[in-house]
């Protein structure tokens, strides 16, 4: 066992590997060697440029899975960082580096948790697995979704899964994600006719044509949500028209928008309603849709209860269950696993310059994961 390493040591070693999506920078090979020492069998399941690792210990049910991603988002301008993003640096009790919170801290804690658990309980019931990918921050087409497809095809049944996404808002332990909203994006082109601003009767301004429909789309209350999900939201993310000249009416308008939707909606229903609104306002358009993920929800049950009890035992907090935030790989795992939740460190600095995680949170995070294993597999 790698008992000479602390969680901080392991996390620092991971941050030092510049695994900008879809690169893994050999994180999974290094972690796999650790897991082999703890009795795990390794399967590397690459797909395209993406590295994926399925590491399993045991063959019996129930199967408990820790899932995470070794890839990180680009650093942004490195000169804006107070220390180099791939040189892990501790300042004022915080460890700085790209991926510190999202989500190499959770991965380091996973590995230490299973090392401690298997050493203390070598004959534990059931099985433990880790699912790691380098495609969560990218298109998410060759990572977890690929591994889940392989597992489903060969009939492997997952029972519990913790995804190590950074979920906490103010202090470690305050939030578990037990579901996520769906994500549906649209790329809309509104067609007009270019012309001179002095002769509007000879042109069709797509901005003017689209404005009434835009008002309805943004002003609409799509639903009220429900006990588990906040209301569905519609947001414009990008909008562009014009040639740059001040005396030209643009010939078309290019719009990107996104729905984050609850279980009160379906992708087909949202698509049909947007189409209806645009046509009712006389908009000449073409529209392409991309479904980023369906909503999923894990009702309170053995996994969330065990994790909540572990959090309270370690931190004294009564945690909240939440479905807010963006999408995660939990949406893929939920298709083959009845109980999927997400839990990890604070998310305040993720994807930002000077991303960081509190050093004091690393051991408690590891202990929470280990305690959850003890509750379900002992």
Q: Whose CA is closest to 331, among 261, 230, 237?
A: 261
- Has 165 been labeled as part of a binding site? yes
CB distance 311 to 364 below 8 Å: no
- Has 121 been labeled as part of a binding site? no
Residue with tokens 């007009």: 192
Of the residues 24, 115, 116, 136, only one is catalytic, namely 136
Q: Whose CA is closest to 271, among 206, 212, 188, 179?
A: 188
- Has 123 been labeled as part of a binding site? no
Of the residues 24, 71, 314, 329, only one is catalytic, namely 71
What are the distances in angstroms from CA 120 to CA 107, 204, 335?
20, 73, 32
- Has 78 been labeled as part of a binding site? no
CB distance 32 to 39 below 8 Å: no
The count of other CB atoms within 10 Å of the CB of residue 254 is 14
| Catalytic annotation present for 136 | yes
| Catalytic annotation present for 216 | no
- The binding site for Zn(2+) consists of 69, 102, 137, 165, 351
The residues annotated with a catalytic role in the active site are 71, 136
């Amino acid at each position: 066992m790698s008992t000479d390493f602390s969680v901080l040591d392991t996390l620092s070693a991971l941050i030092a590997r510049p695994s900008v999506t879809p690169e893994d920078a050999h994180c999974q090979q290094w972690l796999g060697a650790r897991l082999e020492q703890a009795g795990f069998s390794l399967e590397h399941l690459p797909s395209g440029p993406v590295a994926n690792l399925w590491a399993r210990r045991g063959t019996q049910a129930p199967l408990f899975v820790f899932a995470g991603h070794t890839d990180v988002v680009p650093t942004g301008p490195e000169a804006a960082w107070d220390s180099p993003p791939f040189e892990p640096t501790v300042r004022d009790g915080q460890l700085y580096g790209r991926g510190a919170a999202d989500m190499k801290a959770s991965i380091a804690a996973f590995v230490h948790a299973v090392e401690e658990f298997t050493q203390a309980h070598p004959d534990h019931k059931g099985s433990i697995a880790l699912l790691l990918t380098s495609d969560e921050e990218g298109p998410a087409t060759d990572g977890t979704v690929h591994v889940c497809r392989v597992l489903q095809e060969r009939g492997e049944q997952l029972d519990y899964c913790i995804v190590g996404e950074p979920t906490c808002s103010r202090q470690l332990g305050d939030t578990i994600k037990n579901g996520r909203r769906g994500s549906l994006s649209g790329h809309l082109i509104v067609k007009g006719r270019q012309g001179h601003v002095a002769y509007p009767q000879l042109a069709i301004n797509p901005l003017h044509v689209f404005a009434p429909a835009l008002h309805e789309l943004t002003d609409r209350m799509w639903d009220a949500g429900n006990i588990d999900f906040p209301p569905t939201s519609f947001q414009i993310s990008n909008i562009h028209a014009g040639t740059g000249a001040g005396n030209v009416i643009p010939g078309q308008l290019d719009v990107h928008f996104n729905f984050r939707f609850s279980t009160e909606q379906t992708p087909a229903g949202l698509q049909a309603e947007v189409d209806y609104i645009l046509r009712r306002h006389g908009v000449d358009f073409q529209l392409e849709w991309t479904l980023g993920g369906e909503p999923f929800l894990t009702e309170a049950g053995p996994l969330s209860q065990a994790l909540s009890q572990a959090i309270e035992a370690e931190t004294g907090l009564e945690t909240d269950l939440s479905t807010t935030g963006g999408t995660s790989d939990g949406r893929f795992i939920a298709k083959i696993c009845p109980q999927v939740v997400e839990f990890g460190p604070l998310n305040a600095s993720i994807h930002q310059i000077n991303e960081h995680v509190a050093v004091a949170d690393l051991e408690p995070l590891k202990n929470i994961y280990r305690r959850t294993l003890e509750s379900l597999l002992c």
